[in-house]
Structures are given as structure tokens and as C-alpha cells.
Amino acid sequence: MKFFSLNKSLLAEQVFNGINHGENDNQLKIDIFSDGEILPVYKESIRDHHLFIMADGHSSENIMKLLLTIDGAKRSGAKKITVIYPYAPYSRQDKNDHVRSSIGAKLMADMLQTAGATRLITIEMHAPAIQGFYNIPVIHLNGNRIFTDYAKSLKLENVTICSPDHGALKRNTDFARLFPDSLFAVIDKKRTKPNEIASMDITGGEFIPGRNVVSVDDMGDTLGTLSKAAGLVMSKGAASFRAFLTHPVLSGKALEVLYNSQITELIVSDTIVSVYEKQKLYNSMLEAEATELYNLGRSDYDSILEEVKAKRPKLTIVSCSNLLVKSIDRLINKQSINELNIA
């Protein structure tokens, strides 16, 4: 087998080092012409090999880069082409919600298969039914498994699991197994349009006061809804509010929203590798606040910074590399992968 990553990242490095079965990916060269045209070239024979091609990033350019790389592998005689796509793009477009709109998830499935992919490994699709768009095997990994060890390490007591909406009930009831004595609540919300909530309330609000509230969702985009949920939960008397998000899209002013929110801790995965850069930006916001206080005459910058970190939400990244490595190893060794999705 051979492993190739289309974007150099810490996640790709961790996955490659964890596999210990393949060769490195320095034999793939991707040329970009001055007009933006992309040309992937394999610098060695890949005939009859099983290729693992890891892609991250959901921009149009990255999608095109992946499709051309798969096509190049198919035309070069690769025996199998497994695409590792931790965050499958356009998975929010799983049905025709609007008159005369696209179904992006179906189009992505068609393009990957037409290009030549023979298998897909992905984590926590927005709608599990998207697997039905594919006529190739799809290894759909449960995003909750990424956070199992970290959640246990928190050693939280008096936990209430609060589903952010009714669509996330299964995901949250699954996560509740990590806290056997936890109670359960659900946020009821009415949405007027994407990224905008008209009203919000809690079913099971009596299980909130004085408790550590944990909420789990598949992705976080602008964080506007999550911020409102945190404010509502804390207004009910919660001791803390932690949110676990598999896919940290964090677009627009998401970091500013997080900075000013009542979220105690936001725990995310690195399925979208740009999250490491966003964590640096968020930390710089905390440092800027500490510097401003220091310039006002307070001494001991380090203690000021610790105070700022204590009062602002914490942003924690838990890598999904371990889950990906386990799934790849089981695939190579022809072992069951379903066990990875069992709590």
C-alpha cells in the first residue's frame, strides 16, 4: 500500500506515522499552473497498489485537487483507491430543502466514484443516510469515539447531557454512556433560516441548575446557536457548559462569538486541520486582553494571562488521528471496523 496526503498537516503526519504499513507520500507532485489549473503527477509506479489518499479542506480547489489525484491513480493502474476524508464536504446538503436547489452531498458522491475512488473513510457525516448516495463501501466513523478518553479525563460529576436539538438526540444519548449517572435535557429551537434561530427553550430544564452540562454535535459553524444555547443553559443555573464538536468549521466571526460566550470549554476535533491556526488566533485574542490589562498598570503578565484564560471559554483540540489509524489498520488486516463505533 501507499499513503498520500494532499495537504501537509499535523493530522496527516500523525496518521501516516501511526499506520506503519505504507511508504511516504513524497512521490506525489502536484503542479499548479499560473491560471490555477491543477496537475497531480505520481513520480513512481503505483500499478496494482492499494492507495490511501488523505484529503482535508473543503474549498473548491481542494476538492478539484482530490478528484484529479484519484483520476491520476486510476489511470496509472492503482488496484484500490481508498479516500480518507475526515470531514466530507457538502454533507449539509443531503436533501432538497429549497425549491430548485442542489443536493451537494449526492454530487460529491458521484464525483468521487466517477474519478475512481473504490472506498471512502469519513467521520460523522451530517446525515448518516448520505452513505446511501455511494455505490462503493463507506466506512462511517462515529465522531463521539474521538472524545471518549478526554471526556473521561474530565471526571465530571453531576452531569446533564443536553442535546442541542432533536436531530442530535442519538448522538447525545450515545455520549451519555460515558456518564452513567447523567440526566438528560433537550434544547427546542425554531430556525428561521440557516445560522439564525428565532426562539429557544429547554425540555428537561429542571435538570440544569447546579449541574455540569455537556452538549455534543457534529459540527460548529458560526457558533451563534451554540453561544445562545450556552447563555440559556447558564441562565438556568448550570455550573458549567461544555460542548463537543466533531467538525470545527468556525467560519465568519466564530472565534469572536466564542470569546464573548458563556461556554466553559469548547472541545473540537481536527477533522478540519485549519482549526490549529484558529486556535492560535483565539489564543492571540486572550493574550491581547492580558496585554491591555498589563498596560493599564497591573504587574505580573503571566498571572494576568491566567486570569483571562480562566474567565474566557477554553478551546481544546482532540486529534482524530487515533480513530483513523485504527480504522485503516483494521481495514488492512481485514478485521471488523464496526467495533470502533461501539462505546
Active site residues: 189
Cell reading at 221: 459553524
Closest CA to 138 of 320, 341, 286: 341
- In eight-state DSSP terms, residue 43 is S
Burial class (CB in 10 A: 0-12, 13-18, 19+), 47: exposed
Contact 212, 239 (CB under 8 A): yes
| 265-269, strands of its sheet edge to edge | 196-203, 183-193, 159-163, 212-220, 240-248, 265-269, 314-318
User: What is the distance between the alpha carbons of residues 241 and 90, in angstroms, rounded to a whole number?
Assistant: 29
User: What is the distance between the alpha carbons of residues 124 and 91, in angstroms, rounded to a whole number?
Assistant: 10
Helices (H) and strands (E) in the chain, counts: 10, 14
Find the helix packing angle between 60-75 and 104-115, rounded to 10°: 30
Closest CA to 281 of 307, 303, 251: 251
